[in-house]
Structure 1
Amino acid sequence: MQTDFAAWSWTAGRGIDGLQPIRKPLVQPGPGEVLIANRALALNPVDWKIIEWGHPAWNTGHVPGVDGMGVVVACGDGVPIKPGTRVAYHQSLERDGSFAEFCLLDWATVMTVPAALDDAIAASFPCPGLTAWQALDKVPVSGPSDMLVVGAGGAVGLLLVQLAVQRGCRVWATAGTKHHANLKALGAVGVFDYQDRNWQQNLQASLGERRLKVVFDTVSGAHAAALAPLLGYNGHLVCIQDRQETAPLPAFSTAISLHEVALNSFHSYASPGDRQRLRDAGEHLLESMLGGRLTLPERRIFDFRNLPEALLALKQGGEGGKWIALLNESGVTPSGQP
């Protein structure tokens, strides 16, 4: 196995422009850790946001990136996974991440990838897939309840629509018009253009006497708070971006419940049982993607050597889709693969 590897490093205070190609020494896994030779990595909005905002645990030289997939090439003591296993993972923001040929992880955070599942699909799953699953897991709702997914054109929203439909719910969504036909084909009963100033009134007209049981908001805490009046009695407001610092409605009115979703927190606060449950759910959803029961946004493949440019394109949001680098197609081939 090689002794060093290619990676992108962060420079404090310089944002995306400060990403620099470096080589890092290859460190062998300690107890409970696995070393992954990356085959693919995927970009997420959290990547450019933290690169621009910074993180308390980061110093110049930190390797960003939360999502990737690859092959286990070495295991520390106490790891039940065998070298050669294909896995996908969500890395903790506090550790060097996936923007590299290799990634060192806590073994309890990795998910086995079905043999026939494409590398790019597997890499694009962890952050949006586990976030969507956690968001839906917050609410004890199934059957013909009405749910609204705000921002269903993105990866998290798209998966939320599909998972809620599979739970038997009536799912409504907001998204750009280019996404409407696909969302309806996936089972949404109605889709509204978020740029239409009357979309909330149109939704209420469609609901008639019914009220929403759940609102999933992927925009911001302030945006979610503005949607709280759409909820009926004992409804649920689920914030996937930010959280509600103060109650958005008067006390003892519709008695809604407030939920925050923080996938990265499981790295620090989840019990072993929590991690096992999340890993089991992730592996089940990866199987669903293999069977075509779940789909992700269109994939946009980029060269690993052009990662800053791809990250900037994601931030600007003009092209949409899921940005993925296949390392063995970028002139950067992870060593140690079987």
Structure 2
Amino acid sequence: MRALVLDRPGSPETLHLADLPLPVPEPGQVRVRVEACGLNPVDYQIAASGHSDWAWPHVLGLDVVGIVDALGEGVTSTHVGRRVAYHGDLRRPGGYAEYALADASVLAPVPARLDAVSAAALPCAGMTAYQAAVRRLRAGKADTVLVAGGSGGVGGFAVQFAALAGARVIATASAHNTDHVLGLGAHQVIDYRSEDVAARVRELTDGRGVDAVVDTIGTASATQGLRLLSYGGALAAVAGRPDLHALPPFTTAPSVHEIALGAAYAHAGEKARADLAHMLADVMALAADGRIDPMLARTVALDDVPDALVELSGRHVRGKIVASITPGPVTRSS
């Protein structure tokens, strides 16, 4: 099969096409004929250092949509020919290939009214935002929610989920992304490049602060968000924990939630892995019903993924990029 492989830790430019043996599903696994695979920042981040569990060459790609092609021993939860989606285990070979293996327990059937490419835009970013805004923060009609990084993948979905729940949404984004983020459901957008975010949040909330924060930027931003919470507020940290020492103890009494979607494979049991399928089914149903936008920016061919990952690493991509996997000749870049 054709696959985009990494021979050793490195930058996205070192990825190249190769011909690999067709994988054979083990007990409890299925083989998927890949139709589409979503690109995520974790791809280039982990490529730079590699992983101790990888065998070389390694195939990246976590957000896979395709047709079940073969069943491993004991699999009765799905059938050959079904279109499924899943968020994969970063310790294992991924979906930048014509075929991939997955645990049967993490598969979510793709609704018939949702195309494969749109479905592949949803797993990592959509499920992370869903877990943050819906599961952990439980955003609702009486809440004001701050989304730091509202134009990115996770941030854009968080804006949508919070708005869908009836919350007032304040988001940060650069000025040229303001209309995009407002279109996703934000009520106000703060230009983090030209405005003082903390001062503007205080102004917009009459000094009260916000009830919840989804931070997709990093530790410094999450720490600022912690200071902007009203009494009893909650923060979901996607890209880095806040410094709890920034607040005196027993004052605003915040709660902090760390979101680590992929840790369900390495640090949890079967129940948590099965929940990945449940969450993804919920997210895909919302997209299929038109209640959330998959935010598909564009599709790329398999051999264009390295350039797209370089672009993604610049942290200015609006929405999601998805690789459409189609049969083709095997070539190797020099």
Q: TM-score, normalised by structure 1?
A: 0.91
Q: Distance in 1 between matches of 2:84 and 2:248?
A: 47
Q: Is the 8 A contact 1:38 1:102 kept in 2?
A: yes
Change (3 A) 1:245 1:61: farther
3-state SS in 1 of match to 2:114: coil
1:154 maps to what in 2? 152
1:332 Cα deviation after fit? 6.3
1:50 maps to what in 2? 46
1:122 maps to what in 2? 119
3-state SS in 2 of match to 1:70: strand
Change (3 A) 1:141 1:320: closer
3-state SS in 2 of match to 1:278: helix
Change (3 A) 1:22 1:289: same
Change (3 A) 1:327 1:185: closer
Change (3 A) 1:321 1:140: closer
Q: Is the 8 A contact 1:235 1:256 kept in 2?
A: yes
* Residue 20 (1) aligns with residue 16 (2): yes
Among 82, 88, 108, the alignment partner of 1:111 is 108
3-state SS in 2 of match to 1:120: helix
Residue by residue over 1:29-88, the C-alpha shift from the partner in whole angstroms, topping out at 9 and shown as x without a partner, is: 121101000011111111111111322323431111111210000111232100000011
Q: Distance in 1 between matches of 2:139 and 2:287?
A: 23
1:336 maps to what in 2? none
Structure 2 stretches of 5 or more lacking a match? Answer: none
1:323 maps to what in 2? 321
| Identity percentage of aligned residues | 34
Q: Is the 8 A contact 1:152 1:173 kept in 2?
A: yes
| Equivalent residue letter for 1:105 | A
Among 220, 225, 228, the alignment partner of 2:218 is 220
1:182 Cα deviation after fit? 3.3
Q: Is the 8 A contact 2:201 2:209 kept in 1?
A: no
Q: Distance in 2 between matches of 1:96 and 1:263?
A: 17
Q: Distance in 1 between matches of 2:142 and 2:183?
A: 18
2:165 maps to what in 1? 167
* Residue 100 (1) aligns with residue 106 (2): no
Runs of 4 or more, structure 1, over 4 Å off, are none
Q: Is the 8 A contact 1:155 1:296 kept in 2?
A: no
Change (3 A) 1:277 1:59: closer
Q: Distance in 1 between matches of 2:229 and 2:244?
A: 17
Count of equivalent residues:
328
In terms of mean alpha carbon deviation, does 173-182 or 226-235 score higher?
173-182
3-state SS in 2 of match to 1:12: coil
Q: TM-score, normalised by structure 2?
A: 0.92
Q: Is the 8 A contact 1:68 1:98 kept in 2?
A: yes
Change (3 A) 1:201 1:244: closer
Among 70, 75, 78, the alignment partner of 1:74 is 70
1:316 Cα deviation after fit? 2.6
Q: Distance in 1 between matches of 2:30 and 2:84?
A: 11
Q: Is the 8 A contact 1:146 1:214 kept in 2?
A: yes
Q: Distance in 2 between matches of 1:7 and 1:207?
A: 50
Q: Is the 8 A contact 1:15 1:53 kept in 2?
A: no
